[in-house]
């Protein structure tokens, strides 16, 4: 009788050890890991599905690799073929990579789907040694990041809800989970003008944390200055969007400490686009369509930014849209120009 032996690849053995260690860690954390069938053949790169049963109903997929050979300069490289990369990038649920280091028995993670969506499926996938699952604190960071990825789709649906309470709740969630995935804030920016006014004001408050407003400096330090700078690149508005923002300025204006201060700095954005011209055009549009609040605040800001040229700028606005002369803002502007030669504001 001839006995046929099957060659077992070393990498397959090590990866299976990694799965065992990860499963044990999940038990300790009261997470549930459902392992898929593992055979020695090319796979689509999902070793199982992880449910955070203790704290949520969310689920993510996991690809687990083992081996010290993956280590290089404070990070691990998760190697994969093009089939796996394509599967991960287009996955309907987030895929996370788990690396097991046999020398330290440590577990480390990375956001595979997010990396490929951001950088492209040909880029290398790395896991930082700082992204560890071995401590309680490290596991909490992984949990928060995974949940943030999971709720991205449901948040879009909530923002599109007809119910104000659901929209406001979604904005609250974005404020918390966005720090783990900045695309949540970009999603809010893209959908904010479809929200009810109450939810829109809440969105303005949240996004105001990333503006150039110095009063939000502590928020920017919390999120990271580069993080905030990247978000601000999306604060460039259409003329109709500027009209909407101007219409949300309340009676206390845009002075320091007011809600309108958030709107002022949102309009300024990253200070690398012509926001002054945008507000002037929005003022003309608002006067044309009868949006008196937006027209009033738009004319104030336009003349304010004109500085010593405020008198001629006001004349130009009124000549273009005589309606502006009938608004309360016209008298305010005229009085300031008469006494100061320009409009002065502290916000």
pTM recorded for the entire structure: 0.66
Indicate the average pLDDT of the chain.
Answer: 86
pLDDT of residue 67: 72
Q: In which band, very low, low, confident or very high, does the pLDDT at 6 lie, cut at 50, 70 and 90?
A: very low
Q: What is the 3-state secondary structure (H, E, C) of the chain?
A: CCCCCCCCCHHHHHHHHHHHHHHHHHHHHCCEEEECCCCCCCCCCCCEEEECCCCCCCEEEEEEEECHHHECCCEEEECCCHHHHHHHHCCCCCEEEEEEECCCCEEEEEEHHHHHHHHCCCCCEEEECCCECCCHHHHHHHHHHHHHHHHHHHHHHHHCCCCHHHHHHHHHHHHHHCCCCCHHHHHHHHHHHHCCHHHHHHHHHHHHHHCCCHHHHHHHHHHCHHHHHHHHCCCCCCHHHHHHHHHCCCCCCCCCCCHHHHHHHHHHCCCCCCHHHHHHHHHHHHHHHCCHHHHHHHHHHHHHHHHHHHHHHHHHHHHHCHHHHHCHHHHHHHHHHHHHCCCCCCC
pLDDT per residue over 211-239, tens digit each? 999 887 777 787 888 888 999 999 999 99
Q: In which band, very low, low, confident or very high, does the pLDDT at 57 lie, cut at 50, 70 and 90?
A: low
pLDDT of residue 339: 92
pLDDT per residue over 289-311, tens digit each? 999 999 999 999 999 999 999 99
Highest mean pLDDT among 10-19, 34-43, 80-89: 80-89
pLDDT of residue 37: 59
pLDDT of residue 334: 95
pLDDT per residue over 121-165, tens digit each? 567 888 888 899 999 999 999 998 888 787 776 778 888 889 998
């Amino acid at each position: 009788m001839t006995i046929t032996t099957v060659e077992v690849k070393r990498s397959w053995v090590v990866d299976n050890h990694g799965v065992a260690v990860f499963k044990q860690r999940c038990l300790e954390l009261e997470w549930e890991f459902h392992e898929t069938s593992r055979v020695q053949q090319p796979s689509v790169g999902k070793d199982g599905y992880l449910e955070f049963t203790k704290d949520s109903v969310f689920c993510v997929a996991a690809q687990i690799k083992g081996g010290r050979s993956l280590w290089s300069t404070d990070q691990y490289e998760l190697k994969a073929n093009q089939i796996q990369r394509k599967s991960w990038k287009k996955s309907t649920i987030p895929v996370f990579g788990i690396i097991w280091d046999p020398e330290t028995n440590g577990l480390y993670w990375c956001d595979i789907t997010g990396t490929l969506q951001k950088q492209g499926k040909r880029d290398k996938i790395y896991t930082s040694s700082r992204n560890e699952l071995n401590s309680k604190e490290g596991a909490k960071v992984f949990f928060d990041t995974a949940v943030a990825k999971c709720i991205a789709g449901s948040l879009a649906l909530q923002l599109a809800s007809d119910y104000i309470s659901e929209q406001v709740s979604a904005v609250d969630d974005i404020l918390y989970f966005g720090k783990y995935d900045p695309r949540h804030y970009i999603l809010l920016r893209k959908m904010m003008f479809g929200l009810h006014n109450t939810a829109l004001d809440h969105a303005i408050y949240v996004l105001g944390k990333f503006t150039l407003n110095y009063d939000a400096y502590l928020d920017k330090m919390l999120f990271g200055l580069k993080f905030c700078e990247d978000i601000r690149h999306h604060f460039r508005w259409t003329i109709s969007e500027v009209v909407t923002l101007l219409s949300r300025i309340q009676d206390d204006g845009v002075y320091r400490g007011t809600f309108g201060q958030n709107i002022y700095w949102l309009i300024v954005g990253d200070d690398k686009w012509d926001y002054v011209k945008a507000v002037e055009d929005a003022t003309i549009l608002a006067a044309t369509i009868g949006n008196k609040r937006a027209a009033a605040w738009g004319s104030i800001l336009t003349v304010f930014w004109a500085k010593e040229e405020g008198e001629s700028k006001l004349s130009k606005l009124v000549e273009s849209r005589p309606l502006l002369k009938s608004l309360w803002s016209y008298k305010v502007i005229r009085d300031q120009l008469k006494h100061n030669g320009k409009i002065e504001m502290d916000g």
